[in-house]
Amino acid sequence: MELSLERVDKQVGPAHHLYPIDLRLQPNAVTVLLGATQAGKTSLMRLMAGLDTPSHGKVMVDGRDVTGVPVRDRNVAMVYQQFINYPSMTVADNIASPLKLRGGLDRAAIDRQVQALAERLHIDPFLQRLPAELSGGQQQRVAMARALAKGAPLLLLDEPLVNLDYKLREELREELVALFAGGESTVVYATTEPTEALLLGGYTAVMDAGELLQYGPTSEVFHRPRSIRVARAFSDPPMNLLPASHTAGGVQLAGGPLLPLALADDARASSLTVGVRAPAFRVTGRPGDLALPGQVELAEISGSDTFVHVATAVGEVVAQLTGVHVLDLGSTVTLYLDPAQAYVFDAAGDLLVAPAGRN
């Protein structure tokens, strides 16, 4: 399926839920809608599904204008944050319901597909139970299995894993990547988590406050964010943003070292911002690294990483260090940075320089 949005927007009274958006989804691939809460992800998905009609613009499917065509007249499957299941049907019958409606399959074939989906989503022990007998996370997985069983050409998933525990989310992400790899549906997956977008791969549309900021292959959008707004949305922890200015030798951090980065003549604005992702910092220097000494304000161990908040001459920065590092509050630490790993943005927040090898 080829889904295109042509200058669609959504306004309710004086409030703009979506500003005019042009977007052509890559057919039969995964597109991640990435953005914070209230970025407009759900509003956009409802227009794609036909649950809402845009205030202006067109929704096109395979070259046909379907603006205003209700969801019941479209072949779409959608999974919401809040699961929806048939309460009087067993889990098995919930999953099987779209297969029965589609027709053309005997009972044995339906049972095989139900069993396969239930196993992949870790709900096979509950096939004969009613939804009310399951936990919220289990019921959400039933809703996902039913949507996947429908085999619709457009599959919309609105933060489907948000109510699951961390370990199960990690397992199901891997299963979903495998399920989507067949390329039989155009999949749109909304999330607030940059890590989830990277794991799902495919394409990413970054949204903020009802605007579409950037769309493209996920790795390209991550490594070359078009603006500070995109970089903020696609960095977890948030990208460190440091004031700087252009000098004859490169980019001068305010109160800190000089980054020997060349700028184009027309990009040499006096007011710049240097962006550094948290994993780019190290506590062991290498030749050519810049040193940022400072004091530890907070050190958090999360899984196999340590997140360190450090007060430096250029401002507070957050470093994501691989491994477990025991750092006392108030102690002195020196962070090291390869200048080639820095981003540079102009006064308007637009990207001027991306890390080496990412241009």
What residues contact 196, with CB distance under 8 A and at least 6 apart?
32, 161, 173
Element (H, E) at 15: strand 15-24
What residues contact 357, with CB distance under 8 A and at least 6 apart?
none
Percent of the chain with pLDDT over 70: 97
Global pTM value: 0.90
Element (H, E) at 228: helix 228-233
Question: pLDDT tens across 92-132, in order?
Answer: 999 999 999 888 889 999 999 999 999 988 999 999 999 99
Domains in the chain (CATH in brackets) are 3-233 (3.40.50.300), 240-353 (2.40.50.140)
Comparing 357 with 196, the larger pLDDT belongs to: 196
Question: pLDDT tens across 56-92, in order?
Answer: 999 999 999 999 898 888 889 998 877 789 999 999 9
Give me the phi and psi of 311, to 5 degrees please. -85, 115
State the Cα–Cα distance between residues 58 and 309, nearest whole angstrom: 47
> Are the beta carbons of 255 and 313 closer than 8 angstroms?
yes
